[in-house]
Amino acid sequence: MRFGCFDHIAIFFLIAGTYTFTMGVLTWAAAGEGRMDAVFALLGGLAGTALFAQLHETLIPVLYDPTNVGQIILTDLLGNYAAAVAVLGIGFGLCPWGIGKLWGSGGPIVAFEGGRDSETSPG
């Protein structure tokens, strides 16, 4: 099932939304650490949120209506109910296994991770 010519717009908004949420969480964490530069990022985020709230009704025809593809259901994408249940079951079953493999090994999860703090910190 294709979603029309607006696939790239939907993907852009998915990436932008994920980035925005992540940066918001990291900014609050930096403010919690006492970093004063994070205060300006928080104020900018709050100002942007207030502006978006004021312009929301105006932006609906521009941003939401072109990318509205209706209700997307896994059974519609796969063709039948049994295949959807199988995909979900396998996916939900692999998640705990994958997390256990990553975190249970005790080794670095990503290439730039240096290891335990006690090994890398001086003294």
| Confidence at 109, pLDDT banded by 50, 70, 90 | low
Tell me, rounded to whole angstroms, the distance of Cα 85 from its chain centroid.
Answer: 24
Question: Average of pLDDT values for 108-121?
Answer: 55
| CB neighbourhood size of 20 (10 A) | 12
pTM (two decimals) = 0.40
- Taking the C-alpha atoms of 60, 61, 63 and 64 in order, what is their torsion angle to the nearest 10 degrees? 70
**Which residue ranges make up each domain of the chain?**
1-70, 73-110
pLDDT of residue 1: 46
pLDDT, mean over the chain: 76
If one compares 86 and 123, the residue with the highest pLDDT of the two is 86
Over range 64-92, report the average pLDDT: 86
CB atoms within 10 A of CB 59: 12
